[in-house]
Amino acid sequence: MDRKPDEATEAAWIGLSRAQRVATASIEARLKAAGLPPLSWYDALWELERAGDAGLRPFELERALLFEQYNLSRLADRLEKAGLVERRAVEADRRGQMIAITPAGRDLRRRMWAVYAPAIQAAVGDRLSAGEAATLAALLKKLV
């Protein structure tokens, strides 16, 4: 298993890494300029909103976000302190908990999307045709 990547694979990796860094930095800068929290807050709020009123267990949110447990714990603490999420005990499992988005969390996520959506368009949509974007999405899906 000591195979090394060929030049095309190495170039793809470098391009993927650079594109992700540039796009994320641009999006983060737009959120900050608008006085909004970082992108990780949006991602967590989006997953919790998609989960509905029941919310998610921390390990489910961790899996959805691909965060390390300690990073998720800190993020959840910040979101809870800001009133954007609430933790609820799981009745069937006294030690378990659910994290659910609050109305304030839904509102913030929508305000963030108003900045995030145009940032995605600028980073990707303005640079690729619809066909190119579909091809890229299909290729990236193969990596996940």
- Spans of all domains in the chain: 27-143
Per-residue pLDDT of the chain in tens (144 residues, 90 and over written 9): 688 999 999 999 999 999 999 999 999 999 999 999 999 999 999 999 999 998 999 989 988 887 777 788 899 999 999 999 999 988 777 778 999 999 999 999 999 999 999 999 999 999 999 999 999 999 999 998
Model-level pTM? 0.87
- Is residue 109 classed as helix, strand or coil in its secondary structure? helix
Tell me what pLDDT residue 9 has: 95
Tell me what pLDDT residue 66 has: 72
Tell me what pLDDT residue 144 has: 85
The span from the CA of 38 to the CA of 20, in Å, is 16
Position of tokens 């890494």?
17
Tell me what pLDDT residue 128 has: 96
Contacts 24+ apart (CB under 8 A), 33-42: 34/115, 36/108, 36/111, 36/112, 36/115, 37/108, 37/112, 39/116, 40/65, 40/67, 40/75, 41/75, 41/78, 41/79, 41/84, 41/108, 41/112, 42/109, 42/112, 42/113, 42/116
What dotted CATH number matches 27-143?
A: 1.10.10.10
DSSP 8-state assignment for residue 144: -
Tell me what pLDDT residue 106 has: 98
- Is residue 134 classed as helix, strand or coil in its secondary structure? helix
The span from the CA of 134 to the CA of 115, in Å, is 23
Radius of gyration of the chain (CA): 18
Tell me what pLDDT residue 71 has: 85
Tell me what pLDDT residue 122 has: 95
Residue 41 contacts residue 79 (beta carbons within 8 Å) = yes
